[in-house]
Amino acid sequence: MLTLSIIIPCYNERETIKEILNRIEKSNLTDGVQKEIIIVDDYSTDGTREILESTAEKYKIVYHQKNQGKGVAIRTGLNYVSGDYVIIQDADLEYDPNDYQKLLDCALKNKARVVYGSRNLNSNRKNSSYLFYLGGISLTKLANILYRIKITDEATCYKMFRTEIIKNIPLKCKRFEFCPEITAKIAKRGIQIYEEPINYEPRSKKQGKKIKVQDGIEAAWTLIKYRFIN
């Protein structure tokens, strides 16, 4: 039996948490693959925590006692992972859990240790704003130049890893710099990053999107920083 561990960092997602969990449960995986769902609530104050408490018997749920950021929530979740592969799932509805199998198929077929779900390989990609799209493209180009890799979507949420790979990488991220940090450290180890096209339904700031311009600047600095330090 193969297990896919799904880490869901969660902060103030009262409007979407039930639906994303429902979509994850309904997503189809091939026979012989099971899901392990790990939710890390990063001290939500909008009622998300109360919703999660009502489902405590179904999932592994960890509650932070103060808000620390997405990166810390992912690091916390990794401590509870027992599956063969790990994927990160935001608690909103931008990404489609039905794409799990596509990434897992790529990993198994190629014996890949890392697979990214690329929004840019999907010819029907939707964008929340031109600025957000441009930021993602810029970060991808920066990563490719600095680390001599060839990927199309560095900032994607859907990053799948063999568990032993990600658990053996010391992470220091606190907020949204998880993506550039893990990309940098994977690339510096010479591990190939495979990609598969995925679906994407962006949400706006009004709908709860939390990433800001300064997070993009921090991501760029993270890529540069880890290129030149051990």
The CATH number given to whatever domain includes residue 181 is: 3.90.550.10
According to the model, what pLDDT value does residue 209 have? Answer: 61
User: Is the Cα dihedral 186, 187, 191, 196 positive or negative?
Assistant: positive
Residues of the domain holding 128:
2-228
pLDDT of residue 191: 98
Looking at the 3D structure of the chain, how many domains does it have? 1
- pLDDT score recorded for residue 133: 87
- Residue 118 confidence (pLDDT): 97
The partner residues of 36 in beta bridges, in order of sequence, read 5
Per-residue buried b or exposed e for 165-186, using 16+ beta carbons within 10 Å of the residue's own CB: bbeebebebbbbbbbbbbbbbb
Task: Please tell me the predicted confidence (pLDDT) of residue 34.
Answer: 97
For position 132, what pLDDT does the model report?
Answer: 83
Positions in the chain short of pLDDT 50 = none
Per-residue pLDDT, 211: 78
pLDDT at position 206, please?
Answer: 62
Q: Looking at residue 130, what is its pLDDT?
A: 76
Tell me, what's the pLDDT at 208? 56
What pLDDT was estimated at residue 210? 67
pLDDT at 124: 84
Q: In sequence order, which residues have a C-beta less than 8 Å from that of residue 173 and are 6 or more positions away?
A: 69, 71, 72, 74, 75, 181, 182, 222
